[in-house]
Structure 1
Amino acid sequence: MSSETDYLVDRRRLKRRVTFWRVLAFVAVFLAIIGVAVSLGGRRMGVPGVSQVARVEITGLITGDRKSLDLLKTVGRSSSVKAVLLSINSPGGTVTGSEELYDAIRDLAAKKPTVAVVDGLAASGAYIAAMGADRIVARQTAMVGSIGVLFQYPNVVKLLDTLGVKMETIKSAPLKAAPSPFEPTTPASEAAVQALIGDTYGWFKNLVSERRGIDGAQLATVSDGRVFTGNQALPLKLIDEIGGEKQAVAWLEGQKGVAKNLPIRDWKPKEANPFGAFTTAAAVAGAFGLRDLAQVLRAAEQSASTPVLDGLLAVWQPRS
């Protein structure tokens, strides 16, 4: 009887030990995966100390987000970066965000030779950013331009009338919060917004004139809001050359003294979402067959928020 009891006690002790080591191994694997995820999901930059050409992407809606501006500063401070390629494919964004990005690119170009390469689209605010570079190279079928500013707001007055709803507003002055989607646009509020647009549009055109050497009738032609293909943009002086990265690098080597055959390295902003590394961790866990752990990691990831565009826009075909 005693031997049977001793046997059961030993079995329980052994089971506890096995459970302990399993948990410890699980935690070790979890921490290892997180470490791999952080290294893969954080900044992906060129190797420090190795001479290189940095490639920085400007894509999506431009809002002047801090992580992109900080990245440009980091690239400018790096002693290993000898030149910069800005790969642009964007419809633009907010006017103030585009201005911030333009200023950051001008600061970068003061430190490193910088070329904008338009692979798809550099319209409105994205074209403002492109003008910050020393040179603009675009493919034949790329689209550039859309020089102009817009202000959009919905008007739901008729809808509210149909529903029998009226929005009552008490203002300190007639132009406070005007125009409003809840009331008809008055001539005074329309004129006020038009003055805003006109002032910003004048700034945009002056920037084009200064950076691209365009004025007079030609400036009027390129600044009517339309987009141009690369082939159309070249004789209009909106771009400097037809081509892609190959032509941009050749110009850097021939005109800016950049050493030949330097590797091109992608520089990306630091992961803004603190849980972003869990995406990579979940993938790694799944690859190792740790399905439960992968599900936990995926559940921990937070969805990225959609940027809200406020104020005047320099964007081609804006969508809500």
Structure 2
Amino acid sequence: MRKFKILIFVLLSALFVSAVVGTIFRGTLKGFGVPKIAIVKVYGVINSSDKVVKTLDRLEKDRSIKAVVLRVDSPGGVVGACQEIYEKVKEVKEHKPVVASMGSVAASGGLYISVGATKVVANPGTITGSIGVILQSYNLKELADKLGIKVITVKSGRFKDLLNPFRKPDPESLKIIQELIDDSYQQFVEAVAEGRKLPVEKVKSFADGRIFSGRKAKELGLVDYLGGLDRAVEVARELSGYPNAVKYEVKEKKSLIERVVGKESSSVKNIFKALRGEVEEVKLMYLLN
């Protein structure tokens, strides 16, 4: 029995040492491997920036990564999240080239995060543009009145419940919201102007929410090259100075619940939120609508 315990201890110790040595070995070699062009995917509505920012931060420090291709297929998303990704893209391009590759759709917030890149590549038929801000909420006052539902609101200030769905919005509340929208819109315009080196007034001339094809966007100065992902990788190789760099597709790390129930785990999370009585928050969006 004692020999068995000793054997188990030796095996566990060997596994532990092997894991530590492997980690150190990989860390030592990091940056000295084959030159790579990293492909980071940003797909769907951008509700959070955490995963993308962390990935870009890791790639920025990895010396084997000579350039990054940001593959964007998104109609946009939450203002704050889009701005954080945009700022991180700008930071990374100070150390290595970043090429935005627009897929089927890279509109509103999808365009926002793209213009921070060194160069932008879009398909001729990519849907982009939609520069603007939107905030939507339901108003249920009339329905509540018909059903005899009375909602009691206790608040700290007059404008604390600006978009309370159970009361008619007053002009002053809507004015405050409009000022918020206008300020966020101005930030969007300035980001596009800065990223694409265009005059603010020129950007404003087409920043009214309209959408464009990739070809039209190139005419407007929002896009540098027409083509797909392969063209974007070619551009990244040219900019990096490593023509033989290999493509490296960054895999998204999934949480345990995502691995168990798949990508639709957000729906499961929403169910749990509803069961806890949590109300979905109103979000300011850079979103194609």
Cα distance 1:140–1:52, how it changes in 2: closer, same or farther (>3 A)?
Answer: same
* 1:213 Cα deviation after fit: 2.6
What is the correspondence of 1:199-278 to structure 2 with a 5 Å cutoff? 199-215=183-199, 218-254=202-238, 256-271=239-254, 273-274=255-256, 276-277=258-259
Cα distance 1:303–1:243, how it changes in 2: closer, same or farther (>3 A)?
Answer: closer
* 1:164 Cα deviation after fit: 1.9
Which residue number in structure 1 is paired with residue 284 of structure 2? 312
* 1:47 Cα deviation after fit: 11
Secondary structure class of the residue paired with 1:305: helix
Match of residue 70, structure 1, among 54, 61, 71? 54
Cα distance 1:199–1:276, how it changes in 2: closer, same or farther (>3 A)?
Answer: closer
* 1:50 Cα deviation after fit: 2.0
User: Following the alignment from structure 2 to structure 1, what is the Cα–Cα distance between the partners of residues 129 and 245?
Assistant: 31
* 1:178 Cα deviation after fit: 0.9
User: Following the alignment from structure 1 to structure 2, what is the Cα–Cα distance between the partners of residues 213 and 105?
Assistant: 16
Query: Does the 8 Å CA contact 2:141/2:165 hold for their aligned counterparts?
Result: yes
Letter in 2 for 1:264: K
TM-score under structure 1 length normalisation? 0.72
Query: Does the 8 Å CA contact 2:37/2:68 hold for their aligned counterparts?
Result: yes
Which residue number in structure 2 is paired with residue 193 of structure 1? 177
Instruction: Tell me which stretches of 4 or more aligned residues in structure 1 moved more than 4 Å.
Output: 275-279, 306-310
Query: Does the 8 Å CA contact 1:140/1:230 hold for their aligned counterparts?
Result: yes
Secondary structure class of the residue paired with 1:141: coil
User: Following the alignment from structure 1 to structure 2, what is the Cα–Cα distance between the partners of residues 63 and 48?
Assistant: 35
User: Following the alignment from structure 1 to structure 2, what is the Cα–Cα distance between the partners of residues 310 and 172?
Assistant: 19
* 1:128 Cα deviation after fit: 1.0
User: Following the alignment from structure 1 to structure 2, what is the Cα–Cα distance between the partners of residues 257 and 70?
Assistant: 22
User: Following the alignment from structure 1 to structure 2, what is the Cα–Cα distance between the partners of residues 68 and 210?
Assistant: 22
- Percent sequence identity is 32
Letter in 2 for 1:268: K
Which residue number in structure 2 is paired with residue 180 of structure 1? 164
What is the correspondence of 1:1-320 to structure 2 with a 5 Å cutoff? 49-215=33-199, 218-254=202-238, 256-271=239-254, 273-274=255-256, 276-277=258-259, 304-306=265-267, 310-317=282-289
Secondary structure class of the residue paired with 1:62: coil
Query: Which is further off, 47-56 or 139-148?
Result: 47-56
Cα distance 1:252–1:305, how it changes in 2: closer, same or farther (>3 A)?
Answer: closer
The CA deviation string for residues 124-165 of structure 1, in whole angstroms up to 9 with x for no partner, is 111111012101100000011111111111001111121122
Letter in 2 for 1:118: M
User: Following the alignment from structure 1 to structure 2, what is the Cα–Cα distance between the partners of residues 310 and 79?
Assistant: 41
* 1:247 Cα deviation after fit: 2.7
Query: Does the 8 Å CA contact 2:137/2:282 hold for their aligned counterparts?
Result: no
Across the two proteins, how many residue pairs are aligned to each other?
249
User: Following the alignment from structure 2 to structure 1, what is the Cα–Cα distance between the partners of residues 128 and 49?
Assistant: 22
Which residue number in structure 2 is paired with residue 284 of structure 1? none
* 1:174 Cα deviation after fit: 2.0
* 1:208 Cα deviation after fit: 1.3
* 1:51 Cα deviation after fit: 1.4
The CA deviation string for residues 209-248 of structure 1, in whole angstroms up to 9 with x for no partner, is 1112333653223210111101111111111111123332
Letter in 2 for 1:106: K
Query: Which is further off, 302-311 or 118-127?
Result: 302-311
Cα distance 1:212–1:172, how it changes in 2: closer, same or farther (>3 A)?
Answer: same
User: Following the alignment from structure 1 to structure 2, what is the Cα–Cα distance between the partners of residues 192 and 252?
Assistant: 44
Query: Does the 8 Å CA contact 2:39/2:247 hold for their aligned counterparts?
Result: yes
Give the greater-gyration-radius structure (CA): 1
Unaligned 5+ segments in structure 1 are 1-45, 280-300
Secondary structure class of the residue paired with 1:183: coil
TM-score under structure 2 length normalisation? 0.79
Cα distance 1:232–1:47, how it changes in 2: closer, same or farther (>3 A)?
Answer: same
Query: Does the 8 Å CA contact 2:49/2:84 hold for their aligned counterparts?
Result: no
User: Following the alignment from structure 2 to structure 1, what is the Cα–Cα distance between the partners of residues 186 and 209?
Assistant: 13
Letter in 2 for 1:313: M
Letter in 1 for 2:144: L
* 1:278 Cα deviation after fit: 5.5
